Amino acid sequence: MKKTAVTAVSVLLAMSLSACGGGSDDAGKGAAAGNTGAKPGEKTKITYWTLDRHDADYIKEVIDKFNQTNKDNIEVELVVKADDYAQALDLAFSAAQAPDVFRVKENTIQTYYKKGYMAPIDEYLTEEQKKKFPAMPDLNQFDGKMYSLPNYGSTMRLVYNKDLFDKAGIAKPPTTLAELVEDAKKLTAAGKATGAYGFALPFKTPSSAWGRSARVIAELSGYGGFGYDFKTARYDFSGFKEITKAFKQMRDDGSTLPGMEALDIDPLRAQFAEGKIGMYLSFSSEPGVYKSQFPAKINWAAAPAPTIDGSIKGASGFLGGQWLAINKDSKKKDAAWTFINYMYGDDILQPYHEKGYGISMVPSIISKVKQPDINGIEGFLPNKYDGVWPIVPTVTVQGVKYEDAFWKYILEGGDLDKVIADLNKRYNESLDKAIANGEVTAKPDASFDPAKMQGTFAK
């Protein structure tokens, strides 16, 4: 597997520590912008789709400003999708109705590149922008061409209700799965009178719930967060066994919020803000959420995620490296770039970090930002155990996906060893097929050590 993403981000860190300024906000204004897709005097209307809700108010504010002030007569329509974002985008592209600009993330951009959804942006980039925004192979750059630029990255932590912890007599957040299960039971008992429960996850969409919880526990414990073993270049989901058992135990104990199987992330946040949940796992977007979207009525904080047995053998995945992309088939690419260029201005990226919506990955921004003055953000700031994992090969697996299979076991029980064996068989068959077709490359790396990725972003 390629290690270029890790190398690129390590270079980014070095740049951030030595940066003494940044690119001008005028960068990119010299790019071609004449073909906006509208007749003279008409407004050029473009659409921007995103799945991000934690920053929706801020993004709407800056887009409204763009619509009112841009001199190119461009109007942007913001569309915020929920957890059906990926499916909705696929349908939109198949119907030739896809947005002109759309949000890409580290776990989708590789797929969108292979599907041919994105237009390269190299022709628009100035030399100044090329220096300002790091090129990260397999994260925003493919086959030598740039498709997106970085804005922010996300850390993952355990979010917990300090008031309920105090009431339950729990001195500190759990550091092992056993402690997680026991603390969830104590929190539920302490919260019985007020209808509070110890633990919750948004399992309405199992991939969302798993990606913000089991993934980080596995990574800190030394296992690949997507079930892929870089040492052997094979899928091996056995690293999720004890995590799945712990999640099931909490549900069997009655320590999880009832109706969790129909819970989306925003309803979960609303319940947490009201004091109805003792703890859950999520990304560094949470502080901004509890400041504006769901003002917290409780004292809360964030702590490192627990590991399987308390020992840290890997790194907590720092996610990011890309943000906005242009639809390859858009007839308004120049207008789309004018909007994107505006969104990547310092006057937007710097407040984005300082308001707590995400931790900047742009060296010139990192060099001058102030620490966000938001409750809880201190627990999410990069520490010595945060790092960037290599890119997992993308495969199209036949049958049930691993997140759904583990969630079904949590709900119904069964033979977990058989579940894992079936997943390993199907995912590796799909991997072998993808390799044979030349769609991916996967080479064993006997020297791979997840602990060596620690500290990529620690200051």
What would the pLDDT profile of 414-456 be if each residue is shown by its tens digit? 999 999 999 999 999 999 999 999 888 899 999 999 999 898 6
Which regions of 223-349 does DSSP assign to beta strands (E)?
Answer: 228-229, 234-235, 277-283, 300-303, 316-317, 319-320, 324-327
More confident residue, 393 or 146: 146
Q: List, for residues 278-330, the tens digit of each pLDDT value.
A: 999 999 989 989 988 899 999 999 999 999 999 999 999 988 899 999 999 99
Judge whether residue 252 has pLDDT over 60.
yes
- The two structure tokens encoding residue 3: 């290690």
Judge whether residue 4 has pLDDT over 90.
no
Residue pointed to by tokens 């309405």: 204
Going by the DSSP 8-state scheme, the letter that residue 237 receives in this structure is G
Judge whether residue 22 has pLDDT over 50.
no
Share of the chain above pLDDT 70, in %: 90
Mean pLDDT along residues 31-54: 76
pLDDT of residue 54: 84
- List where CATH 3.40.190.10 sits in the chain: 17-154+319-380, 171-317+386-459
pLDDT of residue 42: 85
Which pTM value belongs to this model?
0.80
pLDDT of residue 107: 77
CA distance 327 to 93: 9
CATH number of 171-317+386-459: 3.40.190.10
Share of the chain above pLDDT 90, in %: 75
Q: Let me know the angle formed at the C-alpha of 388 by 382 and 238, rounded to the nearest 5 degrees.
A: 110
Could you tell me the pLDDT band of residue 21, with boundaries at 50, 70 and 90? Answer: very low
Domain 17-154+319-380 has CATH 3.40.50.11260: no
CA distance 333 to 187: 53
